[in-house]
Amino acid sequence: MAPTPRNAAQYPESTVAAPTEAVSRQVPLTPPSAPLDELPSTYVSPKRSSASAAQSTDSAAVDARSTTNRPARSSSSAERSTHKLLRNADQLPPIEFLHADVGVYGTSDDRELGQRIEQTLEDFDVPVRVVHVESGPTVTQFGVEPQYVERAGNRRKIRVSRIVSLADDLALALEAPAVRIEAPVPGRPYVGIEVPNRDKIVVGLRGILESKELRKDGGALAIGLGRNTAGAPVAMDLTRAPHMLIAGATGAGKSVCINTIIASLLMQHGPESLKFVMVDPKMVELPGYNGIPHLIGKVVTEMDQVMGVLTWLLLQMDDRYRTFKEAGVRNVEVYNAKVRKMRGKDAPPPLPYMVLVVDELADLMMTAADDVETQLCRLAQMARATGIHLVVATQRPSVDVVTGLIKANFPARLAFSVTSQTDSRVILDTPGAEKLLGRGDMLFMAPDASKLERIQGTMVTDEEIARVVRYWKGIRSYESGGATSSASLPPTDWTSSSSGTAEVPHGERGSLTPPVQPTGPMNQPPLFEQIEQMKAADARDALFDEAVEIVREQGRGSVNLLQRRLRIGYSRAARLVDQLHDAGILGPDLGAGRGREYLGDESL
């Protein structure tokens, strides 16, 4: 969404915000091309010819990552082109999967609102002057400069605290649901009064991903958060965060934000460079991602599996640190750079980033608060250098859920609308979130910033997410001509709320069948089998190895034998015998005091 610059006649030329490239363009809302919904994960749409492009100037530009410029002139040439494209690993989804931004920020009411702000504060003997106006998708920020007053012959400037104390009176005068005052605006000589717009404008993810801000400062794990009060794109690199805490009341936009983060990463990374571990106790938001190649195992929805997942991540972290020690490097970026310079069959593959997404922390804390807090904090403290990052969300920002230890280890925080100042202080250590408007309106605490930034979060629809999920699942279905209804697509785990149609641009109509077989079932790593093996190994007695040596020497095993040789009690010896039997080392009890037969320990 792009604002237009303010009319210079409304305010003095020196006081009007200069429009930047990021906030001065208008982009038409063009429906994504229907055939792109069903292309395989290894296929990238070829660019159209110039003649075809001229017939459809409103269509979105074809993916810049495409490796060919030639249109498909025949089925054989299309197959050769597709074969060439399939050699390129990790092809990314086309940007046309996402809706383009459309809209204009700012209204003709801004001048009137500015005058009402000045008049209202003047009525309370607080003279100010509006010197700056910035419009965003949700709020318009009026920059007001405190003026001087004459009292008893002394000329004094109005204190900033007096303006802040009149926030409720301003909301009443402006007929606004809430007014937030930023005093002062960082790096500016005025106080910011944020007034909600009468009409909100939806912020699309596509505009953020295409922005110069993300390309310049995005980093390895760039996330498009939204647009600030000036309409400028706001992006964040998760590797610099390095972990994110999201909190807000029900319906404030928390789950949409999680989907935006996941979609941002899926649009920029293939499964070779990024892996996800997802935990969703509510079983609502994240199971739709089951089946994408980025996912390690299925989305965890059972509470009794969560601790095993956290333990598995800790072991992965320890393994990576051992690998770094052997390679003589400090972090995953240096390790991967070193690996890419190596040549030959013996060169190890680069390590992918891992992102743990937890949709509801409160459910985890209710079951095993101490264990969950310990595991999460250890991951947050140590996993950054290994490329493991955490995104944790909760709709109950209370002190028993968002503890001091958790807050200390999550420097990047997003606060959506909450019900009280207390909840806002729990998340941000300062009030302000209780005055947000909901539906994606949020305050962002960056790890390297001293002030909060107000952002309207990006909106990713179920239809857009379904396109990306289908792409990575490898659904290959391409209908010829006209429009394709989403209802005719093969079923997926994701439930789309939209059943509309999308027009196929000129030059891309027709039938194209890639010369490859449909992708079979996803063979994902047996995560939970590894977890069960780890639990079994941890449950073994410390004397297990010594007991194995004893039964190997004797050719048999019994409780009495282990009691005598190991000098332990009956209960511990009986547990050791059971463990040896479960491991396949001892056979069943022979009875009559003969103990158990030794079967061998090759399995160890």
More confident residue, 589 or 83: 589
Q: Which pLDDT belongs to residue 15?
A: 39
* pLDDT confidence tier of residue 536, bands split at 50, 70 and 90: low
Q: Compute CA distances 119 → 130, 147, 170, 174, whole Å.
A: 11, 13, 10, 11
- What average pLDDT is seen over the chain? 76
Is 90 exceeded by the pLDDT of residue 122?
Answer: yes
- Residue-wise pLDDT tens digits, 493-529: 333 333 333 333 333 333 333 333 333 333 444 555 6
H-helix or E-strand containing 321? Answer: helix 306-327
What residues does each domain of the chain span?
34-99+463-503, 238-460, 540-598
pLDDT at 81 over 60: no
Q: Tell me which of 316 and 81 has the higher pLDDT.
A: 316
Separation between Cα atoms, residue 235 and residue 341, nearest integer Å: 30
% of the chain surpassing 90 pLDDT: 43
The pLDDT of residue 262 is above 90: yes
Residues 392-421: tens digit of each pLDDT: 999 989 898 999 899 999 999 999 999 999
- pLDDT (tens digit per residue) in 217-251: 668 899 999 999 888 999 999 999 999 999 999 88
Pair of tokens at residue 421: 């100042």
Mean pLDDT computed over 576-597? 86
If 0-12 CB within 10 Å is exposed, 13-18 middle and 19+ buried, where does residue 274 land? Answer: buried
CATH code given to domain 238-460: 3.40.50.300
pLDDT tens digit string along 158-211?
999 999 999 999 999 999 988 999 988 888 889 999 999 988 889 999 999 998
Query: What is the structure's pLDDT at 478?
Result: 32
| Residue 593 confidence (pLDDT) | 76
Q: What pLDDT was estimated at residue 221? A: 92
Helices (H) and strands (E) in the chain, counts: 18, 20
Confidence of residue 139 (pLDDT cuts 50, 70, 90): very high
Question: Looking at domain 540-598, which of 1.10.10.10, 3.30.70.330, 1.10.10.1150, 3.40.50.150 is its CATH number?
Answer: 1.10.10.10
CB hemisphere CA count around 457 (13 angstroms): 29
